[in-house]
Amino acid sequence: MSDTVLLISMAEIAGVFVGFGALISVRSTESRDARTMAYLSSVMWMGLWVVFVALIPLGVSAFGLAGRALWLPCSVVALVLWWLAFLVSRFSPEFREDVATTPPARNALYMTVAVVPFTVMNAALVLTALGVWPDLAPALYTIAVLACLVMCGTTLFIYVFTQHQRPLR
């Protein structure tokens, strides 16, 4: 597999995000408020998703699978894991409280920032799973992992950057 080094590098970067999220949650004096829990849990699960999904093709290819036999199961597992984690996090009490207490303008800003990598990631995984462009499957899969890595980093950035901001009116 030619993308091995790139996928391992992305897993390593995601591991750093997970570590920073864990460190912030341990050191934060406000680690019990809904906003902190919602953001840090998002950073944690997206980072872990990237680590796991970046390493899946490496493990599956060890069985001698290549081409569609490799990328179909990897992309399906990635989609299932993403949507399970995404839905579970969206129904958490912390996430619902954060959305309810954050001004609509700020929620709209956050969603606008996330919509591009979210769409790219899901579209790339669906195209890979469907085998639309079989020659581009490794690239599409890599783009999907990279898009989630961008979401993870952006989420951590937004959390840290807006930690002590006055509320929007």
Q: What is the pLDDT along the chain (169 residues), one digit of tens a residue?
A: 556 665 667 667 666 666 666 666 555 555 567 777 788 888 888 888 988 898 899 888 889 999 999 999 999 999 999 999 989 988 888 888 887 887 777 777 777 888 899 999 999 999 999 999 999 999 999 999 999 988 988 888 877 777 765 454 4
Residue 21's φ and ψ, nearest 5 degrees, are: -60, -45
- Enumerate helices (H) and strands (E) in the chain, giving the number of each: 6, 0
Q: Say what the pLDDT of residue 78 is.
A: 97
pTM to 2 decimals?
0.80
Could you give the CA distance from residue 8 to residue 14 in angstroms, rounded to a whole number?
Answer: 10
